[in-house]
Each structure stands twice: as structure tokens, then as C-alpha cells.
Amino acid sequence: MEADELLPLVARGDQKAFEDLYGLVSGPVYGLVRRVLRDRAQSEEVAQEVLLELWRTAARFDPARGTALAWILTLAHRRAVDRVRGARAAGERERHAVGERERRAAERAGPPASDQAAEEPEEPEEPEEAEGGPEREWVRRCLERLTDLQHQAVTLAYYDGYTYREVARRLSLPLGTVKTRMRDGLTRLRDCPGAAA
């Protein structure tokens, strides 16, 4: 059964339907959260929150508003983005608190690291067993067809959890341009041939 059929059963308390739904969506939910958060432990925690929330609030799903999968993955994406933004804001405060003293020490010690590296120590991405299959291949191929700016605008926002204002700052572009690049990028993805139904 598809997620669209299972979710209404779950809303009526059907635990078996939830198990089936778990089988369908746990990979996409965990993978998406992991893509945004990178950190394994945090991703597991957020995925767990999302999947439980799914059980708890299944009755809120309204098929008139879109597919069950869209509803579920939107929920997962929002939770992941909330978490990554919270962590960034906390990191920001900490950096301010550590502040000047260390920066001066670092300047004395040698040339400062590039802005980007100092601002955001990124974990190296661990190789992970892929599951996305044809969908993943299709998206990879279609993302390649975008211009660099379209590609960056879409992926910095969706996969890295930056707001469009942050994306504009990082790419040194006006807000309007960023919104346009995002729209063009998504439109071009939509028109990319071979889209899975």
C-alpha cells in the first residue's frame, strides 16, 4: 500500500499500518534529516521525533492539500532545519562569547583561516549506503543541468538549511535575485526529462 492509503489508517490508530508506513518513509525521513544535520546521533533523534509525531498527528493530514509523502517529508525537513538553525545560533553566540581574545591570538599565530572555514566547521560527509535509487540518480543528473547559482541557491537552502537571506549573504546576491534563482532552479528540475511520477 502507498503512504496515501496508509496514513488515514494510521490516523485511526492502526499500528500495523504504521509499521508498513514506517517501512516506506523511514529511509527518506532519516536520509533527509541526515543530509541537513550531518551528525548521526542528532539525525537519529530528530528522525525519531518526526516519526512519532507522524503517529500522533496523522489525523491532521488532509489529502486535499497534497500527497502523504509530501506532508511527511515537509514535517521532517522543518524539524531538521529548526534543529540546524538552533545549533548555528548557539554556535554563533558561543563564538561571540569566546570573542576577540582568541581571534587576536589566532591573528598573532598566523594568517587567519578563510571566512567560510572559520564561520562553519563542517564535518566531512561520511560515505553512507545510498537508497534513493533512480530518484537520487535523476536528481543528481538534473541538478547538473542547473546553472551554478540556481544549484547553490536551491541546495544551500534545502539541503543545508539556510534561509534565503543567509543564502543571499553567502552568495553576495540581492534577495530578489536569490528568490528568482531558487524559483528557476526548481522549475528547471520540474521540467527535467525522466521525472519519476
Partner 1 sequence: MRHTGIRLFDRVREYAGGLRIGRTPHSLAVPYALDALDPDETRRFERHLETCPRCTDEVRALAADTVRLARAASVPAPPDLRERILTAVRATEQEAPEPVPDAGARNARGTPARARVLVALTASAAALALVAAGFLAFALVRTDDRLDEERAMAREIAHVLAAPDARAADARGVRGCGLGVVASRSLRQAVVTATGLEGPPGGRAHQLWELRAGAAPRSLGLLDGETPVVADDLGARAGSLAVTVEPARGSGRPTTAPVVQLTLESVGFGE
Pick 38 or 119: Cβ nearer partner 1: 38
What is the footprint of partner 1 within residues 173-192 (CB under 8 A)? 174-176, 179, 182-183, 186, 189-190
Using CB under 8 A as the binding rule, whether residue 28 contacts partner 1 is answered as yes
Of 62, 57, 1, 51, residue with least CA distance to 26: 51
Pick 99 or 159: Cβ nearer partner 1: 159
Task: State the nearest-atom distance from the C-beta of 119 to partner 1, in Å.
Answer: 18
**Of 7, 37, 58, 146, the one binding partner 1 by CB under 8 A:** 58
Instruction: Give me 14's grid cell.
Output: 492502526
Stretch that binds partner 1, among 70-78, 87-95, 99-107, 116-124 (CB under 8 A): 70-78
What is the footprint of partner 1 within residues 90-149 (CB under 8 A)? 128-133, 135-136, 138-140
Pick 105 or 196: Cβ nearer partner 1: 196
Pick 6 or 182: Cβ nearer partner 1: 182
Pick 110 or 176: Cβ nearer partner 1: 176
Q: What is the 3-state secondary structure of the chain?
A: CCHHHHHHHHHCCCHHHHHHHHHHHHHHHHHHHHHHHCCHHHHHHHHHHHHHHHHHHHHHCCHHHCCHHHHHHHHHHHHHHHHHHHHHHHHHHHHHHHHHHHHHHHHHHCCCCCHHHHHCCCCCCCCCCCCCHHHHHHHHHHHHCCCHHHHHHHHHHHCCCCCHHHHHHHHCCCHHHHHHHHHHHHHHHHHCCCCCC
Task: State the nearest-atom distance from the C-beta of 11 to partner 1, in Å.
Answer: 6
Task: State the nearest-atom distance from the C-beta of 15 to partner 1, in Å.
Answer: 6
